[in-house]
């Protein structure tokens, strides 16, 4: 039986992970849970899965959780230190890293240093500090298994093949809710429109990232580190049906793709049970009902966030950390309806242009770039 700690247990990935665990009580056990917002839902999870320790956002949340649970409760921690405690529990065999944003970096690094295998849903960990994390994974000899559907698809399509035979990897993108929206029309789209993703059910931040296509840009950077691919060997194609999750093209012209219904439980189940497979509970794929699969080139004029991500990857150094931090601030401002949709990418662009990059070595070097970008983006928005 594999013991799991889940960072971000009340988010969309956390909920899907727990559903997979629920289906396989003989395979998986929950050791620790960490969440940042929904204490009431965490209390329900604690009652069902009986973890040994949990972590919440702050001291007030810890008090609320204690009141909800009464006498029968696990150890309760809080804050960044609390999340790192859950990530390093001795009993945990694997940590599911699903905290949204750069906040997931420090607990994930702590887990790697503790020798825990990682099921990675927090793409920002590799976007912000890809070189550092990659070096630590090798040093501590842990498995870093992708949970994002696109990276899971690539990982599956690479099985049994030599890295020197790869021509390129191709990430698919749904195109989001504004695939057919003109640049002029996008200046006036509202929050409600941006939160209506045509295929996937995700949290608000990731849904907005999908609408701007920044999410795909972050995935490009993540793919670079996961699969040791240079930017010029990473392609993106818009695939509105979200059935082909990504592909690998080989030097002989053959392309291997992974297909499936758009449900995150499938890549989660694969990461948890790898190198085996287990039932995920998703709807089986019926290609005769789908009928047609279509593909388009991404439009980087209408979706400049994707271009900015490629620029950050090629520039390297601290630019990816700055890209991510500025985007997090801009998306938060859009969710609060302080800026327009098109100003998300504009804020990121201006922040990157203001940045004097440097070569990061230690974790704090990456965090310093992250803090600088957040402050700069906030000033630009203000």
Distance CA 74, CA 66 (A): 9
| Predicted pLDDT of residue 37 | 81
Distance CA 248, CA 239 (A): 15
Q: Which of 182, 173, 303 is nearest to 243 (CA)?
A: 173
Q: What is the CA radius of gyration of the chain?
A: 20
Topology (CATH level 3) of domain 2-142: Rossmann fold (3.40.50)
Distance CA 327, CA 374 (A): 9
Q: Is 254 helix (H, G, I), strand (E, B) or coil?
A: coil
pLDDT tens digits for the chain (382 residues)? 999 999 999 999 999 999 999 999 999 999 999 997 899 999 999 999 999 999 999 999 999 999 999 887 899 999 999 999 999 999 999 999 999 877 899 999 999 999 999 999 999 999 999 999 999 999 999 999 999 999 999 999 999 999 999 999 999 999 989 999 999 999 998 888 888 877 766 778 889 999 999 999 999 999 999 999 999 999 999 999 999 999 999 999 999 999 999 999 999 999 999 999 999 999 999 999 999 999 999 999 999 999 999 999 999 999 999 999 999 999 999 999 999 999 999 999 999 999 999 999 999 999 999 999 999 999 999 9
Asked whether 308 and 352 are in contact (CB, 8 A), the reply is: yes
| Predicted pLDDT of residue 270 | 98
Distance CA 6, CA 308 (A): 31
* Residues, the chain: 382
Calculate helix-pair angle for 12-23, 39-49, nearest 10 degrees: 10
Q: Is the dihedral of CA 114, 275, 282, 216 positive or negative?
A: positive
Q: 73: part of which helix (H) or strand (E)?
A: none
| Predicted pLDDT of residue 201 | 66
Asked whether 165 and 260 are in contact (CB, 8 A), the reply is: no
Residue with tokens 């972590």, as numbered in its chain? 55
Tokens describing residue 163: 């890295």
Topology (CATH level 3) of domain 316-382: Rna Polymerase Sigma Factor; Chain: A (1.10.1740)
Q: Is 81 helix (H, G, I), strand (E, B) or coil?
A: helix
For the chain, the structural domain boundaries read 2-142, 147-300, 316-382
Asked whether 334 and 207 are in contact (CB, 8 A), the reply is: no
Residue with tokens 């195109």, as numbered in its chain? 175
Asked whether 343 and 334 are in contact (CB, 8 A), the reply is: yes
Tokens describing residue 43: 């209390």
Task: Using DSSP bridges, classify how beta strands 144-146 and 2-7 pair: parallel, antiparallel or unpaired.
Answer: unpaired
Distance CA 25, CA 336 (A): 40
Distance CA 71, CA 157 (A): 49
């Amino acid at each position: 039986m594999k013991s799991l700690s889940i960072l971000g247990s009340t988010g969309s990935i956390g909920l899907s992970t727990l559903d997979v665990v629920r289906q396989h009580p003989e395979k998986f056990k929950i050791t620790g849970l960490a969440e940042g917002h929904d204490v009431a839902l965490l209390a329900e999870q604690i009652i069902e899965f009986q973890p040994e320790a949990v972590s919440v956002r702050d001291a007030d949340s810890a008090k609320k959780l204690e009141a909800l649970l009464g006498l029968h409760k696990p150890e309760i921690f809080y804050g960044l230190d609390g999340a790192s405690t859950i990530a390093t529990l001795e009993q945990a065999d694997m940590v599911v890293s699903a905290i949204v944003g750069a906040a997931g970096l420090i607990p994930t690094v702590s887990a790697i240093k503790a020798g825990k295998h990682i099921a990675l849903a927090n793409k920002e960990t590799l976007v912000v500090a890809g070189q550092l994390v990659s070096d630590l994974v090798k040093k501590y000899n842990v498995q870093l298994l992708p949970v994002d559907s696109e990276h899971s698809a690539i990982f599956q399509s690479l099985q049994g093949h030599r890295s020197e035979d790869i021509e390129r990897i191709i990430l698919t993108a749904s195109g989001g809710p504004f695939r057919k929206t003109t640049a002029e029309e996008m200046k006036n789209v509202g929050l409600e429109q941006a939160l209506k993703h045509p295929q996937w059910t995700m949290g608000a931040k990731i849904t907005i990232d999908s609408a701007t296509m920044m999410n795909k840009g972050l995935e490009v950077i993540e793919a670079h580190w996961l699969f040791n691919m240079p930017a010029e060997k990473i392609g993106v194609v818009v695939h509105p049906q979200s059935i082909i999750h990504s592909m690998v093209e080989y030097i002989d012209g053959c392309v291997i793709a992974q297909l499936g219904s758009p449900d995150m439980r499938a890549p989660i189940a694969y990461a948890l049970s790898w190198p085996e497979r287990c039932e995920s509970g998703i709807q089986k794929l019926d290609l005769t009902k789908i009928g047609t699969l279509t593909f388009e080139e991404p439009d980087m004029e209408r979706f400049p966030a994707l271009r900015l991500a490629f620029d950050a990857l090629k520039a390297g150094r601290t630019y990816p950390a700055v890209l991510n931090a500025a985007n997090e601030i801009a998306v938060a401002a859009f969710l609060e309806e302080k800026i327009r949709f098109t100003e998300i990418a504009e804020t990121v662009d201006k922040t990157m242009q203001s940045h004097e990059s440097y070569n990061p070595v230690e974790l704090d070097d990456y965090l310093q770039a992250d803090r600088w970008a957040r402050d700069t983006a906030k000033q630009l928005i203000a």
